[in-house]
């Protein structure tokens, strides 16, 4: 069975500021990031759908100890966003100084910024054709 919406297609679209997901023909719910089967009911009866990229922050962290090769990024803010359509999507929150992020960001409305940050990949991840041009990082700003 072909994969309906691959990482490659999702990634290419996200780099252009377009958030793609899947809408289930059986239960009507959305899956994002994409998977083979519906996140909610497991059906593979899915259509590609564009999501609006807006939602609210459900949790966050500010990371001060990065992985090898990513030292220059720290500190940075990671948020988990509950999208308007239902799915949770992890991303970076960029329009606030990481040192000033507190519990107050929870429940704040956010939307995808115009341009996604991109991770070029490293020794362990750069080989894949599916990630040519790097990995798009959902990049949120306050709505």
Partner 1 sequence: MRKVAIVGTGHTPFTFAAEKSSVELFSEAAMDAINESHLKSKDVQAMYVGNVLGDFSEGQAMVQSYCADDIGAFHIPSTRFEGACASSSLAIRDAFIWVASGFYDIVLAGGVETAAKMGTPLATRTFAMAHDSHYEYPIGLTFPGFFAMLAHLYCSKYSVPLEKLKEQMALVSVQSHRYGVHNAFAQFHKEIAVEDVLKGFMVCSPLQLLDCCPFSDGAAAVILTSEEKAKELTDKPVYIIGIGQSSSGKLSAQKDYAPRIRAREVSVKQAYDMAGIKPEDVDLCELHDCFSIASIISAESLGFAEFGKGGELWQKGETKIGGTIPINISGGLKSKGHPIGATGASQVFEIVHQMRGHVEPERQVEGVNIGLTDTLGGDGVLCNMVLQKGW
- Contact residues for partner 1, defined by CB under 8 A: 7, 11, 33, 35, 39, 58-71, 73, 76, 78, 80, 82, 87-92, 101, 103, 106-107, 119, 122, 124-125, 130-131, 135-138
Residue 135 · residue 11 · CB < 8 Å = yes
Please give the Cα distance from 30 to 40 (Å, whole number): 8
Closest Cα to residue 78, out of 87, 12, 64?
A: 64
Q: What's the closest the beta carbon of residue 20 comes to partner 1, in angstroms?
A: 12
At a CB cut-off of 8 Å and minimum separation 6, what does 29 contact? 23, 38, 39, 40, 41, 86
Q: What's the closest the beta carbon of residue 3 comes to partner 1, in angstroms?
A: 13
Q: What's the closest the beta carbon of residue 51 comes to partner 1, in angstroms?
A: 13
Q: Which residues pair with 51 in a beta bridge?
A: 19
Q: What's the closest the beta carbon of residue 139 comes to partner 1, in angstroms?
A: 9
């Amino acid at each position: 069975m072909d994969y309906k919406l691959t990482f490659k297609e999702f990634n290419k679209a996200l780099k252009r500021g377009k958030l793609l997901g899947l809408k289930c023909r059986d239960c009507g719910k959305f899956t994002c990031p994409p998977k083979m089967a519906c996140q909610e009911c497991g059906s593979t009866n899915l259509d590609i759908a564009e999501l609006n990229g807006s939602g609210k922050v459900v949790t966050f962290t500010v990371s001060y100890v990065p992985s090898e090769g990513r030292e220059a990024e720290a500190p940075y803010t990671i948020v988990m966003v509950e999208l308007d359509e239902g799915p949770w999507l992890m991303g970076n929150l960029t329009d606030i100084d990481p040192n000033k992020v507190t519990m107050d960001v929870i429940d704040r409305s956010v939307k995808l910024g115009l341009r996604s940050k991109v991770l070029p990949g490293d020794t362990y991840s750069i080989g894949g054709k599916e990630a040519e041009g790097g990995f798009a990082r959902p990049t949120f700003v306050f709505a």
